[in-house]
Amino acid sequence: MHGEMDAWGNKMQFRLGCALWACQDWVGDFFPGAARSPDYLKLYAERLTAVEGNTTFYAMPSPETVARWAQETPAEFRFCPKFPKWVTHAGPLAPRLGQALAFWERMQGLGDRLGPIFAQLPPSYGPEQLEDLQRFLAALPLAAGQFAVEVRHPAWFQPTAAIALTQCLTDLGIGRVLLDTRPVYEVADDPQRLSARKKPRLPVVFQQTAPFTLIRYISHPEWETNLPFVADWADPIATWLQSGTEIYCIVHCPIEARSPANADALYHFLTRRGLDLPPLPWHAIAPEPTQLTLF
C-alpha cells in the first residue's frame, strides 16, 4: 500500500531486493552459516524488502504456498511476481486473459505483500501487436493492483513505437519495467559466459508511466565495474522519490552469489549521493560471531 511505514516508522517508497530468495551460495554470507532451505524466505525478508519471485514464471504456486509466503514475510515486504510463461510466451496476450486473471486471483493470497505483477514479453512480441497488448492490459483489474510490462523486441525502442507504448502504459497506469543490462554488455569481459540464459541487450530507458516504477538492474559481478552505470540511476530515482513514486529495485547478477552484496552496494551508493532511503533491515542484524581457532 502506498505510504506504508516500515518497522522504523519510515515511509516505504523504496524497496530493494534480488530475483529470488533461495540460493545455496548465500549460506554463510548473506544467510547465516546454519541456514536451512525451509528458512530461506524468512531470512531473506529479514534483510531485504522486495523480491522478484521468478518462480511464478515457470509454475503456479498452490494457495497453501502463497499463504506461507505471506506468513513468512513482514508486513512491509513486497513480492513482484512475473506472469507465468503460458500467459506471456504463448502467442497473443488477449486470448490468455482468463489465465492471467486466475494468476492474479492466486496472488491475492499475498495480501498487502503483493507488489506489481509484471508481464515479461518475449523478443518475438513486437509493436505490431500493440492493439493486443492494449486489450490485455485494459482488461486487468487495474483499480485493485499494480501491473507492469517489460518489452524485449528491439523495435519497441524505436521512436514511433516507443511513443505509442508510453502513451498506452501511461493512459492505463501500467508501469514500464526499466531493464538495465549495460553492466553485462558495455564492459571488457563477458560476465554471462557461464549463464544458461543471457539477458537481452537493449537500450536502457529512464521513464515513469505509473505511480510506481520497477527497475531490474543486471549488475556486473565486480561491483566497481557497476559504478558508471548506477551513477545514471541516482538522479532519476531521486526525482521519482521526490514526486512520491514507489520504487521497486531488483538487482540481478550472472553470478547469483553476488546479488545480495551488489544490492547492498547499490543502496549505499544511493545514500552517499544524498538520497533519503528507508533503512535496510539487513543493516540492523548483528554479524555472526567469528569462531576463533586456537593453536
Residue at 7 is within a domain: no
Residues 210-260: tens digit of each pLDDT: 999 999 999 999 999 999 999 999 999 999 999 999 999 999 999 999 999
**pLDDT at residue 8 tops 60:** no
Residue at 289 is within a domain: no
Residue at 48 is within a domain: yes
Which residue reads 526499466 in cell numbers?
Answer: 178
Residue at 285 is within a domain: no
DSSP 8-class letter at 44: H
Residue at 3 is within a domain: no
Domain count for the chain:
1
DSSP 8-class letter at 274: T
pLDDT of residue 5: 55
**For residue 46, what are the domain limits?**
14-280
**Sequence-ordered list of residues with C-beta below 8 angstroms from that of 107, at least 6 positions apart, any chain:** 56, 66, 79, 81, 114, 117
Residues 178-207: tens digit of each pLDDT: 999 999 999 999 999 878 788 999 999 999
Residue at 291 is within a domain: no
pLDDT of residue 292: 45
Residues 138-159: tens digit of each pLDDT: 999 999 999 999 999 999 999 9
Give the C-alpha separation, 175 to 115, whole Å.
Answer: 12
Residue 197 Cα distances to 123, 129, 153, 263, angstroms? 13, 25, 16, 21
Query: What CATH number did the domain enclosing 48 receive?
Result: 3.20.20.410
**pLDDT at residue 3 tops 60:** no
pLDDT of residue 293: 44
Residue at 144 is within a domain: yes
Residue at 148 is within a domain: yes
